[in-house]
Chains A and B, each alone.
Chain A
């Protein structure tokens, strides 16, 4: 039930949500624009007897995450794009060792040091693995501060449920904006036994081992197959998206997070011009909502898709795979920390509607 609403910054809400989810371990390294997650944790963890460590690097921070997760704890780290690149080694090991952990990426513009303004240029990195080897991260893209709260709590449940890394992919806008958030009185915390955790044998007849190395090819292939089976199960069960106006839409926007917020207003403006625009907003970027996109593409009422992102066109590749040639898929993107205006997007919609060149 909705409780009293409080005005909070996105980054702080992530930290508060993690605490509410029972996370008592945070390891991080300062980087803009996610720093408030860290500041919040630095204070709160000390007050509640949890663990906060400012690591010497993002590389170390993610390996502290690996250690705490191996010991069976709920654990969080947060960073932004260049820092997430440094964490990729640990992220791959976490996938290999099948450890539950939550990683927040408040994305900034790249490549390199890039800038500190919002971007979605890390979509490929987040959804296609990012580090070495065949693995997936569960990637969640909240679009509001309220969703940041709810999905961060859920991220810890998913991480434990599947023994895997859940990445919350935000951006500088979402992390820095203040919005009202309503906290639940009782959190939905799913608890899972962790008989595999390295906690000291404590009388167990066998010792536990957490590892990602399997030297024998047949053993490693079997391990990889297990991982792929798990990923297939997740793809069949955990896809989340928001669909708007698909009943009669002629043009369907695909956009996540910040871009979906801008696009939402465009849908209204287009309706005033008599153009029926709908939207599919992926909430899970992996597993990707391919099925609804494919089914929507098959509808005779749908003439085209317009994918809007803060990059040069990354999610659009997954949209095109899902559409599978059934309808044209157009793209509009901004980079470098700039956001598309409603007018830019509306102009594209009008051109697509008129059948002109886009």
Chain B
């Protein structure tokens, strides 16, 4: 019988530890598949961060460096500067990237570091059990905003893609979701484009994935996808904020 689908070699055999309904697994898969399809698995170094994906180095089968909380873009800078002919990506959550790592991500983008950042925004701290993130929506209940995020008390959500897109060094910025097959395919195309941008040497590439966290949202997986569509997308509109029409002729 013909094999029509199998696990990508971009992932190891280790089963994911992610909760049911969490979209990290899909994001891992499409990044891994893209590396294999582009033939870059052997020439890519990934940077894992701190949060639920702290051990993503056990899943991605490319070389992987684990970084301190929020520091992945700085670590990636060090790797890329010393391995200019290799591809480097960071994989970061919203607490890691948009809170403790704000300086690192902004300046990596401003320097136009030739790296890709895959930013997973699920509007909550997952690993440490559901605290308010910089991307938590107004009114959203978390363990540290138990009465709902109140703008007068806890400020406003940060739209990271829009912020990054303001920086000249960032040449490709897109926000995607994983709510259905069509969007997963769009997300995968964005991953591919981010790597192509890096290969072209044009500058910093950033893809934001709107992601679910059923465990900390207190919702069923399907219900979580609906909540993402109804609540998150109005705050975080999907689309390409920069670089939609980039000429990506890869430098030889």
Cα separation A72 to B57 with both chains bound (whole Å) = 18
B8 interface residue per 8 A CB criterion: no
Chain B 63-102 interface mask (CB, 8 Å, partner A; 1/0): 1111110010011111111110011000000000000000
Chain B residues lying within 8 Å of A200, measured Cβ to Cβ, are: 42-45, 62-63, 83, 86-87
B173 interface residue per 8 A CB criterion: no
Contact call A67/B74, Cβ cutoff below 8 A: yes
Q: Smallest CB–CB gap between B53 and chain A, Å?
A: 12
Q: Smallest CB–CB gap between A237 and chain B, Å?
A: 29
Residue of B71, B78, B103 with most partner-chain A CB within 10 A: B78
Cα separation A198 to B42 with both chains bound (whole Å) = 11
Interface residue ranges of B97-112 to A (CB < 8 Å): 103-104, 106-107, 111
Contact call A66/B82, Cβ cutoff below 8 A: no
Q: Smallest CB–CB gap between A258 and chain B, Å?
A: 32
Chain A residues lying within 8 Å of B124, measured Cβ to Cβ, are: none
Chain A residues lying within 8 Å of B54, measured Cβ to Cβ, are: 213
Q: Smallest CB–CB gap between B146 and chain A, Å?
A: 29
Chain A residues lying within 8 Å of B65, measured Cβ to Cβ, are: 66-67, 70-71, 198, 209-211
Contact call A70/B55, Cβ cutoff below 8 A: no
B47 interface residue per 8 A CB criterion: yes
Interface residue ranges of B8-49 to A (CB < 8 Å): 12, 41-45, 47-48
Cα separation A168 to B55 with both chains bound (whole Å) = 33
Contact call B103/A210, Cβ cutoff below 8 A: no
Q: Smallest CB–CB gap between A72 and chain B, Å?
A: 8
Cα separation A208 to B1 with both chains bound (whole Å) = 35
Cα separation A245 to B71 with both chains bound (whole Å) = 50
A89 interface residue per 8 A CB criterion: yes
Contact call A89/B77, Cβ cutoff below 8 A: no
A56 interface residue per 8 A CB criterion: yes
Chain A residues lying within 8 Å of B60, measured Cβ to Cβ, are: 207
Q: Chain B: which residue is nearest A65 at the CB level? A: B78
Contact of A212 among B66, B79, B86, B111 (CB under 8 A): B66
B117 interface residue per 8 A CB criterion: no
Q: Smallest CB–CB gap between A59 and chain B, Å?
A: 7
Chain A 169-213 interface mask (CB, 8 Å, partner B; 1/0): 000000000000000000000000000001111110001111111
Contact call B81/A25, Cβ cutoff below 8 A: yes
B212 interface residue per 8 A CB criterion: no
B61 interface residue per 8 A CB criterion: yes
Q: Chain A: which residue is nearest B80 at the CB level? A: A67
A151 interface residue per 8 A CB criterion: no
With A56-B103, A60-B103, A67-B74 already in contact, the answer to whether A201 and B42 are too (CB < 8 A) is yes
Q: Residues of A at under 8 Å CB distance from B?
A: 24-25, 27, 51, 53, 55-57, 59-61, 63-73, 75, 89-90, 93, 97, 198-203, 207-213, 215
Give me the 5 closest cross-chain CB pairs, A-B, nearest first.
A67-B78, A63-B74, A211-B66, A64-B78, A67-B75
Could you list some 14 contacts between A and B, CB below 8 A? A56-B107, A59-B74, A59-B103, A63-B71, A63-B74, A64-B77, A67-B67, A90-B68, A198-B65, A199-B63, A199-B83, A211-B48, A211-B65, A213-B55
